A and B are shown apart, each in its own frame.
Chain A
Amino acid sequence: MITASRNSVISGILIALVLLASVPLWANPGWVFVVGFVLVEALFCLSWNLLFGFAGVATFGHAAFFAVGAYLVGWGLRAGESFLLLMLGAGVLGGLGSLLVGLVALRRMTGIHLAVLTLALSEVLYIVIGNTHALGGIDGLASIPRPTIHLGLAEISLESSDAYYWFLLLTCSVFALVLWWLVQSRFGRVLRCIKQDGERAEFIGVNVNRYQLAAFVVAGAVAAVAGGLSAPLTQIVTPAAGYWMHSIQAVLNSLLGGAGFFWGPALGTAIFAGIDFVTRTFAGLSEVVVGGILLVIVLAFPGGVLGFLSTLKSRRDRNADAAANVVETGLKEPAE
């Protein structure tokens, strides 16, 4: 049963990858840009949900790490630095930043306090960036060039939109798969154990704080990588990348798709992008629709879209099992 669902997930991922890779072949450039944007946001949301869905830590300031990566790469590309080095730097800086925040905050705060503290810290970064002249102030850094990657003798130019899209898809997929692997590994299982009951995890000898801190660092680093990827895509970085509404967007996407499922946030990001697209011409309607959907999810389907689907599936399986039992034993009532 488990292998079957795992196989279906893997084949689903492969189909999605092939479809995504073919986008520049049949869609117009505007669409390629939108899909690229969704990919970056999806990676960002996956990194947030590593904390919320698996480690049981809710932060409301995750966009700060995204902004760190975006600004580092945007600023570096304008200065003519090497793109791969900048991406590496973004990951390291994001990881260090979250290590710092995690060391100070994780041990002392939980729940609302942690949520508000992370929100406040991200607002500090937002205001500092918005008022720093070297980073373009409130207007941000514009006309960021698309990079060229130098690999020894080979040179790969990412200047065309399609080339950059494929690079983006490759990088996002690799990072998403690494996160996925991490969640399946022993590390991920320990995190889930902590989420279910931190106190008992502590009892059986798990260093809860260290594990949560590790998840925090990974999440911060991946968010910064997502931010870094966004800079050459949009070719402009503004303080809005680190605004608290961006952090909240990660929360909303993850819950919509299903925070208890690894791929939930990615699905949620895609659905949200669709809702935004359909309601974009009606000012106000999109908020009412999105807000209403959120309320319905929180009140009726806390598992999100994937949670809802899996309930449907398990109900169908149970019916199928019951039917199979009837066939195998030839009895309508199981003999006790």
Chain B
Amino acid sequence: MSMQLTFALVNGLTVGMSIFLVAAGLTLVFGILRILNFAHGGFFMIGAYLTFSFLQVLGDGLAQFLLASLAAGVVVAGIGIVTDRIVLRRLKDLDEEYMLIGTFGLLMVCVGAVKLIWGLDYHSVSPPSEVSGILRFGNLIVSKYSLFIVAMGLVVFFALEFAIHRLWIGKIVQSLANDGWMTGLLGLNVPLLFTGVVIVAFALAGLAGGLLLPNQSLSPELGHAYTLNAFIAVIIGGLGNIRGALFASLILGITESMSSFIIPGMPGLAIYVVMIVLLFARPNGLFHRGVS
């Protein structure tokens, strides 16, 4: 039993980090632009498909895999610039409901585009040989790829934390989140900063798509599945809060992998129950104290 529990815990940590990789960009866009982007999962999916295509050219290997993921991040960031110009900028001033619906339209366009470009077939990719296989810690068996995901999640988290709380750009972005108008008055180029945030967030989505590619079967449904979980994590963690998103993602991941213990026979239910409870208990997020 305890072995099973430990196994579920490690598994949950991996699932949680996967959710966080998607949620990070989502919460960043919300924190700065105040847009809850339903389409984020769609761009994540495009990143996964791009990585899949790049890998077919590059071949196996950890370096190739990382390169393909990064390239996917760059391409998706480019798509992000266009999307920002055409859509996001105009959505900023609308009601919340219209933002949700507009970005949902964007998600549909992403799904449709993926179907048109890559077709309806399911694909699967195995992890690069360096991180495939398992490690043994006594009785505990952990897949190397799980550890890789957890490590990548931590890298992204600390990079964002460092940039936001320790670098000059973080100070600027924080001031932008607090008061865009005043930031503009102080002579900073607000539209340019918005574009910068969108680029980072979309690059994160594309990168996450690449890094998580070997974890699942690649299909046009991928966008929907991840959107919902990342959405939940962002809302539980507090909109715009990166640390909150990490904690919420881990809670959700562990809940998900423990759900067979908590509510047997109803896979996937526990995550929603936890979410509903947290929505009532802490409607403004786990760490409510404004944007960070």
Contacts and interface: CB of A to CB of B under 8 A. Distances in A.
Contacts of A251: 101, 104
User: Does more than half of chain B's interface fall in helix, strand or loop, or is it mixed?
Assistant: helix
Contacts of A252: 101, 104
A222 to B, nearest CB: 20
Nearest to B36: A112
B232 interface: yes
B108 A287 contact: yes
A283 to B, nearest CB: 5
Contacts of A58: 96-97, 100
A112 B112 contact: no
Interface residues on B, range: 35 or more
Contact of B273 (A52, A124, A131, A302): A124
Interface in B94-123: 94, 96-98, 100-102, 104-116, 119-120
Contacts of B96: 58, 111-112, 115
A120 interface: yes
B120 A283 contact: yes
- Kindly name the residue among B98, B101, B265 whose own CB sees the greatest number of chain A CB atoms within 10 A: B101
Contacts of A294: 101-102, 104-105, 108
Interface stretch (B3-11, B65-73, B274-282): B274-282
Given A127-B268, A299-B87, A113 B283 contact: yes
A291 B109 contact: yes
Given A255-B101, A285-B112, A291 B107 contact: yes
A124 B276 contact: yes
B235 A116 contact: yes
Contacts of B116: 283-285, 288
Contacts of A285: 112, 116
Interface residues of A, number: 41
- Kindly name the residue among B104, B111, B232 whose own CB sees the greatest number of chain A CB atoms within 10 A: B104
B266 interface: yes
Contacts of A291: 104-112
A292 interface: yes
Interface in A80-136: 104, 108-109, 111-113, 115-117, 120-121, 123-124, 127-128, 131
A298 interface: yes
Contacts of A287: 108-109, 111-112, 115
Interface of A: 52, 58, 60, 104, 108-109, 111-113, 115-117, 120-121, 123-124, 127-128, 131, 244-245, 248, 251-252, 255, 283-295, 298-299, 302
Nearest first, the 7 A-B pairs at minimum CB distance are A284-B115, A287-B112, A291-B108, A294-B105, A288-B112, A291-B109, A298-B102
Given A112-B100, A291-B105, A302-B98, 12 more contacts: A108-B280, A111-B97, A120-B279, A127-B269, A284-B113, A287-B108, A287-B109, A287-B115, A291-B109, A291-B111, A294-B104, A302-B94
15 contacts: A104-B280, A108-B280, A112-B96, A113-B235, A117-B276, A121-B272, A123-B272, A128-B269, A252-B104, A291-B107, A292-B105, A292-B109, A298-B101, A298-B105, A302-B94
